[in-house]
């Protein structure tokens, strides 16, 4: 990226800091960047991800320059047709970038820069003339920068090819006359699950090995163009041993399924994995598509037990995941001596055992444990064996509960599941 381009980006960020009134961007939190992403979406119809905005604002180290599509979208957010128009309108301001006072966010007065001495002003004038000449020559010889994305020309649809696991999804897409550098399909919320596709193509297929409610994204140059729901269901309860790149599926007899109770014995897990020590080997029981309950008001009771010995799985972890159409709630249990290793996710906030006391989630798995989740008006209360161990209040709507996953590090047993 040229020095000139860096100056324009710096100028844009300074203007936005003043306009938004959120203070110095060095103090912005992830929530601020999420809010900025939403504001950009509302004004332009194009979503720039939180990670993209953090890269532009220098909160995340990234060697590459922002893409033309990202810069065009930022320009549109400020009322310009594209990034070129923003630069043209701000050429004089950029040339005097060093004269822009730093914004002091405390109640004290702003820092006013000293006036440059006359020889410096003369030199700046000469440099400005030379720069304008260079820009004129560049505009004459270079091709036009990519146009902003016209979303009316973008199509993104999908179909499932099976009712079983694994399930392939056929994506039909087109971007019309839009010109982009890279085009990707992201299978879910996870940015690592991206596949590069041809901008001139029309179809792409992806395999989903795990059930769940996913949001697939069509992404051009780090800009999310379209999103589509992908609902991968199970036929009742399904046992899956997680491993990369392909998981291991378990039969109904292997999980000893009887209605809402199921278990996995160490002999089966050893036969499937070839191991007798199960640290970091997870088995999950999924039931996705069998529920349709509001995430605003519900009660979930799960009685479970990690049946691994400490010699087989040191921390004897277990987790209950409530899968919704707009996210998930993740509730852990673990041997008391390992509580530093867990995190609670209420669908909005992640509470980490590294910097929070989650000792009440520690338990003795020599006997079955009853974990309960009560949700009312977005206030969540967690009970373990009838004792309140955690509360949280969230602001966002998580949609409808469509599935539950109960996982064990090593072997485990589910005695009962009740959701109402």
Give the residue from 330, 394, 340 showing the smallest Cα distance to 362: 340
Count of domains forming the chain: 3
pLDDT given at position 1: 64
Regarding whether 412 and 288 lie in a shared domain, the answer is yes
393 and 409 in a single domain? The answer is yes
Q: Which residue has the tokens 């299978």?
A: 187
d(CA 360, CA 334): 10
Judgement on whether residues 274 and 319 belong to the same structural domain of the protein: yes
**Domain annotation covers residue 379:** yes
249 and 240 Cβ atoms separated by less than 8 Å: yes
Would you say residue 155 lies in a domain? Answer: yes
Are 89 and 175 part of one and the same domain?
no
Is residue 259 located within the same domain as residue 342?
yes
* Position 146 in a domain: no
Written as six digits, the tokens of 35 are 């809010």
Cα dihedral 104, 108, 109, 112 sign: negative
Three-state DSSP at 341 gives helix
* Confidence check: pLDDT of 415 > 90: yes
CATH number at residue 277: 2.60.120.200
Give the count of beta carbons closer than 10 Å to the beta carbon of residue 217. Answer: 21
283 inside domain: yes
Q: Could you tell me how many residues make up the chain?
A: 420
Q: Taking 80 as the threshold, does the pLDDT of residue 115 lie above it?
A: no
In a domain, 218, yes or no: yes
Rounded average pLDDT over 221-240: 93
Q: Rounded to an integer, what distance in angstroms lies between the CA atom of residue 245 and that of residue 101?
A: 53
* Strands (E) located in 7-138: 47-48
Pairing between β-strand 262-264 and β-strand 412-419 as defined by DSSP bridges? antiparallel
Q: Which of 232, 264, 289 is the last residue of a domain?
A: 232
Handedness of CA 63, 65, 70, 75 (dihedral sign): positive
217: Cβ contacts below 8 Å, ≥ 6 apart: 185, 186, 224, 225, 226, 227
Which pair of tokens denotes residue 110? 């702003």
As given in the structure block, the two tokens for residue 336 are: 């008391």
392 and 283 housed in the same domain: yes
pTM: 0.70
Nearest to 380 by CA among 336, 318, 322, 304: 322
> Is the pLDDT assigned to residue 217 strictly greater than 60?
yes
Looking at the fold, whether 210 and 264 belong to one and the same domain comes out as no
Query: Is pLDDT at 125 greater than 70 in this prediction?
Result: no
Q: Are residues 243 and 387 in the same domain?
A: yes
Q: Quick one: 84 and 193 in the same domain?
A: no
- The verdict on residue 340 lying in a domain is yes
pLDDT band at 260 (very low <50, low <70, confident <90, very high): confident
Report the alpha-carbon distance of residue 335 to residue 314 in Å, rounded: 8
156 & 185 share domain: yes
Please name the residues in contact with 109: beta carbons below 8 A apart, sequence gap of 6 or more: none
Last residue of a domain, one of 141, 169, 191: 141
Boundary-marking domain end, from 180, 206, 232: 232
Q: What is the pLDDT of residues 286-300, one digit of tens each?
A: 999 989 999 999 999
> Which tokens sit at 380?
């969540």
Condensed to tens digits (0 to 9), the pLDDT of residues 89-103 reads 887 555 444 444 443
Question: Does pLDDT of 339 surpass 90?
Answer: yes
Give the domain extent around 136.
3-141
Q: Residue 73 and residue 372: Cα distance in Å, rounded?
A: 45
Q: Are 48 and 217 in contact (CB under 8 A)?
A: no
* pLDDT tens per residue, range 143-167: 344 568 899 999 999 999 998 999 9
Query: Which is more confidently placed, 385 or 60?
Result: 385
CA distance 357 to 355: 7
């Amino acid at each position: 990226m040229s020095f000139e381009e860096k100056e324009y980006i710096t100028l844009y960020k300074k203007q936005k800091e003043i306009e938004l009134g959120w203070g110095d961007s060095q103090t912005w939190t992830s929530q601020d960047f999420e809010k900025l992403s939403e504001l950009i979406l509302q004004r332009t119809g194009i979503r720039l991800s939180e990670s993209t905005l953090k890269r532009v604002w220098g909160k995340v180290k990234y060697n590459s320059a922002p893409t033309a599509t990202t810069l065009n979208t930022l320009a549109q957010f400020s009322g310009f047709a594209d990034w070129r128009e923003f630069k043209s309108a701000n050429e004089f301001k950029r040339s005097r970038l060093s004269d822009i006072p730093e914004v002091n966010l405390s109640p004290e007065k702003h820092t006013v820069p000293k006036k440059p001495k006359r020889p410096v002003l003369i030199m700046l004038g000469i440099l400005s003339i030379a720069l304008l000449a260079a820009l004129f020559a560049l505009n004459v010889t270079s091709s036009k920068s990519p146009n902003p994305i016209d979303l009316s020309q973008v199509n993104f649809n999908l179909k499932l090819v099976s009712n079983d696991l694994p399930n392939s999804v056929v994506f039909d897409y087109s971007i019309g006359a839009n010109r982009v550098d890279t085009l990707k399909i992201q299978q879910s919320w996870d940015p690592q699950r991206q596949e590069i596709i041809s901008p001139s193509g029309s179809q792409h297929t992806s395999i989903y090995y795990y059930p769940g409610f996913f949001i697939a994204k069509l992404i051009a140059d780090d800009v999310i163009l379209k999103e589509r729901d992908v609902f991968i269901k199970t036929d009742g309860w399904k046992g899956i041993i997680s491993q990369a790149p392909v998981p291991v599926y378990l039969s109904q007899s292997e999980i000893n399924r009887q209605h809402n109770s199921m278990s996995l014995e160490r002999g089966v897990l050893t036969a499937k994995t070839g191991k007798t020590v199960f640290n970091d080997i997870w088995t999950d029981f999924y039931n996705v598509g069998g529920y349709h309950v509001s995430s605003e008001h519900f009660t979930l009771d799960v009685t479970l037990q990690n049946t691994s010995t400490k010699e087989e799985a040191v921390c004897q972890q277990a987790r209950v995941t409530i899968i919704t159409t707009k996210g998930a709630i993740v509730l852990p249990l673990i041997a008391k001596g390992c509580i530093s290793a867990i995190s609670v996710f209420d669908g909005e906030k992640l509470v980490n055992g590294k910097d929070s006391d989650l000792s009440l989630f520690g338990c003795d798995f020599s006997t079955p444990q009853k974990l309960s989740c009560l949700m009312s008006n977005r206030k969540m209360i967690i009970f373990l064996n009838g004792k309140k161990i955690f509360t949280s209040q969230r602001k966002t709507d998580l949609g409808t509960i469509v599935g539950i996953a109960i996982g064990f590090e090593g072997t485990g047993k589910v005695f009962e599941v009740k959701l109402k």
